[in-house]
A and B are shown apart, each in its own frame.
Chain A
Amino acid sequence: MDRKASTAVGRVMGRRALPLVLMFLGTLGAGRSWDPARDDPGREFDRHARQAVPRDAFPVFDEPEMVSAARANRVLRPGEWVIGVDIQGDARAYPVAVMGVAELGNDVVGGEPITVCW
């Protein structure tokens, strides 16, 4: 798509402008996409990451107490969204409305240490 666009622009502006157009599109491209197979993740990260809030500013749950389906039924609406996990028959539901507060957690399900995020 980039090449097609640059050719069209080059036609309008004359061939001399083409390298400049390509360079400009190149910088746009660098901001848009990256190639995990080729690019260094650390450099890609530095280019696009910024500190938004201090570390640990948001709550995280660690192996939280959980309740039975019967008890959860008193709180949860039937149609509300949950993230469901089933590992070795150990089933857990993390309601999205709860994950909106604690967006991240560490838990152990079916013997497997897991992290849940939203």
Chain B
Amino acid sequence: MVHSRRIPAQGPGKPQRVLHFGHAGLLYRQSFVVYDRETGSLWNHSTGLCMKGPLQGSQLRILPARMTRWQRWRALHPQTRVLLGPRNEGFMGSFLRARADAYGLAVSFGMHSRLVPYTVLREREVVNDRFRGVPYVFVFDPRDRTSFAFRARLGQRVLHFEPASEPGAGPRMRDRETGSLWDRMGGTALSGELRGQHLEPALGVPWLVQRWRAIYGEGASLYAPAATRASEHPTGVR
């Protein structure tokens, strides 16, 4: 996943720092641990939390990244630059071949994380949710089984979406508040009152559910379709 390497100043008058990371060679709850070359502190690369060392307790800022197919990314960003190098999906490649019920898409806020299982995304295609006071919409593209999340808010206005389609076009959704039609995966309103508006991407990260649960512990909250509106509490996972 993608984090900023900039961390706030560690005290008044001290400068902001930029860290450089390397492999610590340690495994923590089935995840590899990274260290920063500047202080030797140990970090959980999945959550961005510093677990041990001089920077213990620091949290790296997650940046919006999306897991998608090459053709989809290229269409969205024709000017993209691409990393090439030796190729081997290796152990982690098996992640992508896991059964759909084994993984999901999570949005996280520090060490609190909300995960919507892929089985739910696949069935509903558009999932409205609220976690720690923030409204989200999780979206699914049945063409290539990719998913993404947005903050479901424009200024003070909270929006709720339902799936829609347009013949010959990509997946769409419609907001219940104004009936505007949206590009589901891009988060842009195409027609209606909100035409031209953009939803802010949320930091959706694909996770194997079991691993996500181990890493976030009590901070893990699993989306349950029937009880979602009532249960917004971060410990709702158990």
Contact = CB atoms under 8 A, between A and B. Distances in A.
B23 A57 contact: yes
Interface string A57-85: 11011101011110111011111111111
A71 B84 CA distance: 10
B3 interface: yes
Given A115-B5, A118-B92, A50 B79 contact: no
> Chain A, interface size: which category?
35 or more
A34 B47 CA distance: 14
Contacts of B82: 66-69, 71-72, 76, 82, 92-93, 95
A75 B83 CA distance: 11
B9 interface: no
Interface string A34-72: 111111011011101111111111101110101111011
Tell which of A51, A91, A102, A117 has the most Cβ of chain B within 10 Å. A117
B153 to A, nearest CB: 20
Contact of B85 (A46, A56, A69, A101): A101
Given A51-B26, A56-B23, A67-B81, A115 B71 contact: no
Contacts of A61: 83, 85
A75 B101 CA distance: 31
B43 to A, nearest CB: 9
B51 to A, nearest CB: 4
Interface stretch (B31-39, B117-125, B134-142, B164-172): B31-39
A100 B52 contact: no
B132 interface: no
Nearest to A87: B63
B77 A86 contact: yes
Contacts of A18: none
Interface residues of B, number: 73
B57 interface: yes
A25 interface: no
A54 B32 CA distance: 12
B6 A49 contact: no
Given A34-B218, A78-B71, A64 B85 contact: yes
A36 B21 contact: no
B63 A100 contact: no
Contact of B83 (A55, A68, A94): A94
Nearest to A58: B23
Contacts of B24: 55
Given A49-B27, A93-B83, A113 B18 contact: yes
Contact of A77 (B56, B70, B112): B70
Interface of A: 1, 32-39, 41-42, 44-46, 48-58, 60-62, 64, 66-69, 71-73, 75-87, 91-106, 112-118
Given A45-B42, A54-B25, 13 more contacts: A33-B214, A36-B216, A41-B49, A52-B25, A57-B23, A69-B80, A81-B68, A82-B82, A84-B76, A95-B84, A112-B4, A113-B6, A115-B45
22 contacts: A36-B110, A37-B218, A45-B52, A55-B23, A56-B25, A61-B85, A66-B84, A79-B71, A79-B144, A84-B65, A84-B67, A84-B76, A84-B77, A86-B64, A91-B79, A94-B83, A97-B87, A112-B4, A113-B6, A114-B4, A117-B2, A118-B1
